[in-house]
Amino acid sequence: MTSENIVGKILFTEEQILKRANELGAQITEDYKGEKLILIGTLKGAIVWMADIMKRIDLDTEIDFIVASSYGKETTTSGIVKISKDVELDLDGKHVLIVEDIVDSGVTLQRLIEYFNERKAKSVKVCALLDKPSRRITDVKPHYTGFEVEDLFVIGYGLDYDQKYRNLPYISYLEP
Ligand code: IMP
Ligand code: MG
């Protein structure tokens, strides 16, 4: 991809995404009924989805954010994941729901699940806006998924290419 990137068609409109957020928010509220829940968003990509989903969860919740990036993910399931901004809340004995933009190889997510378990979370689940299962090299699977996408480089609604396009109010892709 060069500087003359071509933005493709709209895959999901804001209206479709909010409709899905309503459904998942209701499901999460039901599944964790009577429990407290910590939502952990992965910066920066998940911020738009985090804002949508948190408003639709009617539970006693706290939120936090983490910045994690993975290296070597193309070649190995044990790609190194670096955490450059950590979660500040105490996770001991708490239900954690990771709010992700997209699950691709799954390397980042696998490591985050391990890490929150090491921090003694009572449970760790994942709510991803997008799932790209064709690229998975780990056996992680989001418990709550907005939409599945084909093997395209998707952008918008928080997702970037080279830090751009995060502000698009819909999900599109870059023409291959
Ligand atoms: P994974 O560890 O390979 O699952 O990487 C997941 C992270 O890579 C996501 O949270 C995104 O930040 C980024 N990513 C993966 N695929 C895409 C894409 O199609 N568009 C934009 N970012 C992506
Ligand atoms: Mg991400």
DSSP notation for 82-141: EEEE---S--TT-EEEEEEEEESSSHHHHHHHHHHHHTT-SEEEEEEEEE-GGG--SS--
Collect the ranges in the chain with pLDDT lower than 50. none
Report how far ligand 1's centroid is from the alpha carbon of 98 (Å).
15
Tens of pLDDT along 87-122?
999 999 999 999 999 999 999 999 999 999 999 999
Does the annotation mark 162 as catalytic? no
For position 78, what pLDDT does the model report? Answer: 63
What pLDDT, in 10s, does the model give residues 148-160?
999 999 999 999 9
Starting from the CA of residue 42, give the closest ligand: 2
pLDDT number for residue 80: 84
Mean pLDDT, rounded, of the chain: 94
Q: What's the CA-to-centroid distance between 35 and ligand 1, angstroms?
A: 30
Total-model pTM = 0.95
Tell me which of 64, 104, 131, 139 is the catalytic residue: 104
